[in-house]
């Protein structure tokens, strides 16, 4: 098996360069063999041992210990990589910038000044960081990974952005103004449409990080052109707020090699799988879609605080195996602390890593075709922060784009769904698309009309409100609307209007009072099917709920809740109502398998059970396949491979396989 065929297991290993003894090295060698590792990624200057920005003298022990690892592990089947833990610096933690450095520190949008976190636009810092990365490259590591402090947010005690004196000079020079920090920030986040101040901030934030990336990459390339430079990323909505242009950034970092990305897997501590599936689709899949097409992805799996009390091995294995759903080529994992204790064999991570390796190797050799996925097209734009309306409170949180909620909801319901950047040139025709939040502000009226005329559309209440704003409400045959605020003595529940039972319940009721945002109470023309009606606590009708016109559109008239997102929609009744609309489309979905994610490319079906419940068989609707009695498939699991068949049961296909809790499987069509 060639390196490109393997799924790379890279252990992020926190070491103390002064106290790594031979006993720890022996345990590491044992772990390499038992866990089938491919790479040891040494974390430099990390966490409890972090001293802030390293001087050259302070960096020397880290280079020496890296060379020692290269020498001692030269007969093991692993490469050696480096992960400097400090770029801008994750957080101050009481550290003060060394007198050896003269660069500025960050000042966030609220005026909080860092004592050690660096300003990314300071030329002296750019020169310093390039120089220190050149030192790291001198030992010729396989990869050098930039940690996710390469960003404008989450640098405690700071919240967001750099608005230091140097930055304010840059902003004011571009604007031809003399704004104070307070006045400038107010205009960046103010209510209403995008201001020139917001656009200047986004442009500068993107530009300076691209310049920083280029300086680092060039310094590494000059010393060790074979070393790949990779970058860890965080939540995509926050990267949008710093104006990140993903393609430009990775072009600067990769130089002449494919982009190498480390998306973070959410949930550093264990959460229920039925929660993790939402975060996986809100965070991991969007980052994968934002990257260049040829990007190599090796996500990060971290078990903080590094013990069996942080995560079970079952949950860790779920996170590990679901990386194949984005076509990952490997993974970097933090199972052990960053203070230098080394491997803890009793945690038994080596067992799950060995169990999953064959499944992941198969996926690395035969990856999901993430650019040809089928299903509902969930529309988004990396440029939304440049077009969206600021909220009534003028806060940072109101500026964050929230365009991935349909992907999380549909995927949790077992509905095949994928992402679609509206900047793509291919026109969408005869598709089912999903739109939420302020996505429509990125499109002209003509583009919006085309979407509705040529596709079936799922949309939320915010999207409906924008249609009214653009005088395009006729596209959903609406006449008027008003926003209803929950817990104000108005609406408390919605009730199903259909004659058929939902989940065996006639006139099923669903809360519109708890864990939900504002509700768009829309008045429609008579031909629109009003699926649910709103009621108050006295059972008095108060307005309109969900609505649809089969073959045209489906309206889920909610807005995003800053605390609960769309959490109030995750109930079986909503799943069945949405699938009732989709049964008239070409969208595939699983049947009666809550919290099972289903994805489909041209040749494979992917099923992940994010639930703790086993399913005795897999039931899936496959439109366009009804004429087939059976579909031969190659079943690929962590246990191995065998040829089986999907069996036609009239309205759906059945695959006679027990899908266990937290299990991921692949069904690949057998071509006769």
Q: What number does CATH give the domain 376-582?
A: 3.40.50.880
Domain boundaries, the chain: 3-86+258-365, 376-582, 589-669
pLDDT value of position 672: 72
- Give SS3 for 232: strand
Listed residue (21, 14, 82, 83) closest to 47, CA to CA: 14
pLDDT value of position 205: 98
Q: What is the pLDDT of residues 15-54, one digit of tens each?
A: 999 999 999 999 999 999 999 999 999 999 999 999 999 9
- In sequence order, what E strands does 280-380 have? 296-297, 300-302, 330-334, 376-380
Q: What is the mean pLDDT of residues 190-207?
A: 97
pLDDT value of position 4: 67
How crowded is residue 534: how many other Cβ atoms within 10 Å of its Cβ? 21
> Fold identical between 376-582 and 589-669?
no
Query: How much of the chain exceeds pLDDT 70, in percent?
Result: 99
Across the chain, mean pLDDT equals 97
Listed residue (214, 236, 220, 251) closest to 120, CA to CA: 214
Q: What is the mean pLDDT of residues 465-484?
A: 98
Compute the distance between CA of residue 528 and CA of residue 355 in angstroms, rounded to an integer.
Answer: 52
Q: What is the pLDDT of residues 555-565, one digit of tens each?
A: 999 999 999 99
Q: What ranges in 532-668 are assigned the alpha helix state H?
A: 572-582
CA atoms within 13 A on the CB side of 605: 26
Which residues touch 518 (CB under 8 Å, ≥6 apart)?
Answer: 461, 483, 484, 485, 486, 558, 559
Compute the distance between CA of residue 44 and CA of residue 62 in angstroms, rounded to an integer.
Answer: 7
Cα-based distances in Å from 667 to 281, 308, 352, 632: 21, 32, 22, 9
Compute the distance between CA of residue 324 and CA of residue 481 in angstroms, rounded to an integer.
Answer: 43
With a cut of 90, say whether residue 182 has pLDDT above it: yes
- Give SS3 for 490: coil
pLDDT value of position 2: 53
Would you report the helix, strand and coil content of the chain in percent, each value rounded to 5? 35, 25, 40
Q: What is the pLDDT of residues 496-549, one digit of tens each?
A: 999 999 999 999 999 999 999 999 999 999 999 999 999 999 999 999 999 999
Q: What is the mean pLDDT of residues 1-12?
A: 82
Q: What number does CATH give the domain 589-669?
A: 2.60.40
Using 50, 70 and 90 to split pLDDT, how confident is the model at 365?
Answer: very high
pLDDT value of position 1: 42
Q: What is the mean pLDDT of residues 616-620?
A: 99
Using 50, 70 and 90 to split pLDDT, how confident is the model at 84?
Answer: very high
Q: Is 557 exposed, middle or buried (0-12, 13-18, 19+ CB in 10 A)?
A: buried
Of the candidate CATH numbers 3.30.70, 1.10.3470, 3.20.20, 3.40.50, the domain formed by 3-86+258-365 belongs to 3.20.20
Cα-based distances in Å from 510 to 90, 212, 469, 570, 572: 43, 50, 29, 10, 10
Helix (H) or strand (E) holding 349: helix 349-365
Residue 30 in contact with residue 69, Cβ under 8 Å? Answer: no
With a cut of 50, say whether residue 164 has pLDDT above it: yes
Q: What is the pLDDT of residues 252-296, one digit of tens each?
A: 999 988 999 999 999 999 999 999 999 999 999 999 999 999 999
Q: What is the pLDDT of residues 145-160, one digit of tens each?
A: 999 999 999 999 999 9
- In sequence order, what E strands does 289-442 have? 296-297, 300-302, 330-334, 376-380, 417-421, 432-435
pLDDT value of position 284: 98
Poorest-pLDDT segment among 79-88, 168-177, 483-492? 483-492
Are β-strands 39-44 and 79-84 bridged in parallel, bridged antiparallel, or unpaired?
A: parallel
Q: What is the pLDDT of residues 316-359, one digit of tens each?
A: 999 999 999 999 999 999 999 999 999 999 999 999 999 999 99
Preceding amide of 305 cis, omega within 30: yes
pLDDT value of position 25: 98
- In sequence order, what E strands does 586-663 have? 589-590, 596-600, 604-609, 618-621, 630-637, 640-648, 653-655
């Amino acid at each position: 098996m060639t390196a490109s065929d393997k799924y790379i297991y890279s252990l992020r290993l926190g070491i103390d360069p002064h106290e790594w003894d031979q006993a720890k090295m022996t345990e590491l060698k044992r772990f390499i063999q038992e866990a089938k590792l491919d790479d040891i990624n040494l974390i430099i200057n990390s966490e409890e041992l972090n001293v802030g920005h390293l001087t050259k003298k302070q960096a020397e022990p880290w280079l020496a210990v890296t060379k020692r690892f290269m020498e001692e592990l030269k007969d093991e089947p692993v490469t050696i990589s480096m992960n400097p833990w400090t770029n801008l610096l994750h957080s101050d933690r009481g550290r003060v910038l060394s007198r050896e450095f003269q660069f500025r520190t960050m000042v966030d949008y609220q005026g909080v000044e860092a004592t050690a976190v660096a300003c990314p636009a300071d030329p002296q810092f750019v020169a310093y960081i390039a120089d220190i990365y050149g030192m790291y490259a001198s030992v010729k590591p396989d990869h050098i990974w930039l940690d996710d402090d390469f960003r404008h947010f989450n640098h405690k005690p700071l919240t967001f952005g750099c608005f230091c004196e140097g930055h304010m000079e840059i902003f004011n020079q571009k604007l031809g103004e003399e704004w104070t920090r307070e006045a400038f920030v107010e205009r960046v986040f103010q209510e209403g449409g995008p201001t020139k101040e917001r656009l200047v901030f986004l442009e500068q934030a993107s530009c300076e990080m691209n310049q920083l990336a280029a300086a680092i990459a060039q310094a590494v390339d000059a010393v060790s052109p074979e070393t790949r430079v990779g970058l860890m990323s965080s939540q995509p909505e926050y990267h949008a707020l710093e104006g990140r242009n993903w393609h430009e950034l990775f072009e600067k970092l990769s130089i002449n090699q494919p982009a190498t990305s480390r998306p973070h897997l959410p949930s550093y501590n264990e959460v229920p799988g039925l929660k993790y599936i939402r975060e996986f689709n809100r965070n991991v899949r969007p980052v994968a879609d934002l990257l260049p097409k040829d990007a190599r992805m090796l996500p990060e799996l971290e078990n903080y605080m590094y013990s069996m009390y942080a995560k079970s091995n079952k949950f860790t294995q779920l996170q590990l195996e679901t990386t194949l759903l984005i076509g990952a080529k490997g993974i970097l994992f933090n199972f052990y602390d960053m203070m230098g204790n080394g491997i803890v064999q009793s945690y038994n991570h080596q067992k799950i890593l060995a169990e999953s390796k064959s499944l992941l190797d198969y996926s690395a050799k035969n990856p999901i075709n993430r650019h040809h996925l089928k299903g509902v097209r969930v529309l988004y734009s990396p440029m939304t922060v440049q077009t969206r309306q600021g909220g009534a409170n003028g806060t940072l949180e109101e500026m964050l784009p929230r365009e991935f909620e349909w992907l999380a909801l549909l995927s949790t319901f077992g509905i095949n769904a994928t992402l679609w950047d509206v900047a793509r040139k291919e026109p969408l025709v005869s598709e089912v698309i999903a739109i939420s939040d302020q996505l429509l502000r990125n499109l002209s009226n003509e583009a919006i009309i085309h979407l509705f005329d040529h596709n079936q559309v799922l949309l939320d209440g915010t999207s409906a409100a924008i249609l009214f704003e653009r005088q395009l409400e006729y596209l959903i045959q609406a006449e008027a609307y008003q926003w209803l605020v929950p817990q104000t003595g108005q609406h408390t529940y919605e009730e199903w209007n259909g004659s058929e039972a939902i989940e065996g319940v006639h006139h099923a009721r669903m809360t519109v009072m708890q864990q939900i945002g504002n509700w768009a109470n829309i008045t429609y023309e008579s031909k629109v099917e009003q699926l649910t009606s709103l009621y108050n606590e006295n059972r008095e009708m108060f307005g309109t709920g969900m609505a649809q016109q089969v073959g045209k559109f489906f309206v889920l008239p909610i807005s995003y809740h800053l605390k609960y997102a769309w959490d109030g929609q995750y109930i079986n009744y909503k799943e069945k109502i949405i699938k009732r609309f989709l049964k008239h489309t070409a969208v595939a979905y699983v049947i009666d398998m809550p919290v099972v994610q289903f994805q489909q490319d041209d040749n494979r079906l992917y099923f992940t059970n994010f639930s703790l419940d086993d399913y005795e068989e897999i039931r899936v609707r496959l439109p366009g396949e009804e004429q087939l009695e059976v579909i031969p498939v190659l079943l690929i699991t962590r246990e191995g491979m065998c040829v089986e068949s999907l069996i036609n049961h009239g309205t759906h296909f059945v695959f006679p396989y027990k899908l266990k809790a937290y299990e991921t499987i692949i069904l690949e069509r057998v071509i006769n």
